[in-house]
């Protein structure tokens, strides 16, 4: 499919779009990555009531595999290597952060949110490297490699966030 218009009709057209666009949060007209991360935060707090560590490990692993497919297909359908509307990468990465960071109070969760958004948006150091590593070259088709890259830089941003959170905690104890 050639380049498509991003709207609610596009969202409804294929199940991969539902996932990749964060169940609609990626359709936000401004800051879709932030909106997707907020959706991840809210959904984590709801799902965490029923999922233990094994449940989260399965959700994150399955979410990565299914997300790889969904992000690849959606990017192909949009004709863009890493569309901003694809927010499943933010969802998985922030779920990973919260899973490893909890139990944390609301303020500490907010710190995690801000740190993750800074790493994801500014892409310093290893996050920028991870982002550039899988970008398609002009004229190159969007494939599984690029779909993996959509997810990979956010996983790196999550690990960078977790490192800073660990350093912050060690400074206070």
- Domain residues for 82? 8-172
Structural domain total, the chain? 1
Is there a domain that residue 48 lies in? yes
Residue pair 78/4 in contact by the 8 Å Cβ criterion: yes
Per-residue tens of pLDDT for the chain, all 173 residues: 445 788 889 999 999 999 999 999 999 999 999 999 999 999 999 999 999 999 999 999 999 999 999 999 999 999 999 999 999 999 999 999 999 999 999 999 999 999 999 999 999 999 999 999 998 888 889 999 999 999 999 999 999 999 999 999 888 76
Is there a domain that residue 36 lies in? yes
Alpha-carbon distance of 137 to 159, in angstroms, equals: 27
Alpha-carbon distance of 67 to 49, in angstroms, equals: 23
Residue pair 141/171 in contact by the 8 Å Cβ criterion: no
Is there a domain that residue 1 lies in? no
Alpha-carbon distance of 149 to 20, in angstroms, equals: 13
Is there a domain that residue 3 lies in? no
């Amino acid at each position: 499919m050639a380049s498509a218009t991003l709207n609610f009709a596009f969202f409804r057209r294929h199940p991969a779009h539902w996932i990749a666009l964060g169940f609609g949060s990626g359709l936000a007209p401004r800051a879709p990555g932030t909106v997707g991360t907020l959706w991840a935060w809210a959904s984590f707090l709801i799902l965490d009531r029923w999922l233990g560590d094994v449940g989260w490990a399965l959700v994150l692993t399955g979410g990565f595999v299914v997300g790889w497919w969904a992000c690849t297909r959606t990017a192909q359908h949009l004709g863009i290597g890493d569309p901003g509307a694809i927010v499943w990468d933010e969802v998985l990465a922030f779920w990973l952060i919260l899973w490893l960071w909890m139990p944390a109070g609301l303020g500490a969760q907010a710190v995690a949110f801000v740190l993750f958004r800074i790493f994801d948006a500014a892409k310093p150091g290893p996050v920028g490297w991870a982002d550039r590593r899988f970008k398609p070259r002009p004229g190159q088709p969007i494939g599984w490699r690029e779909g993996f890259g959509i997810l990979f830089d956010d996983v790196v941003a999550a690990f960078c966030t977790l490192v800073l959170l660990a350093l912050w905690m060690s400074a206070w104890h």
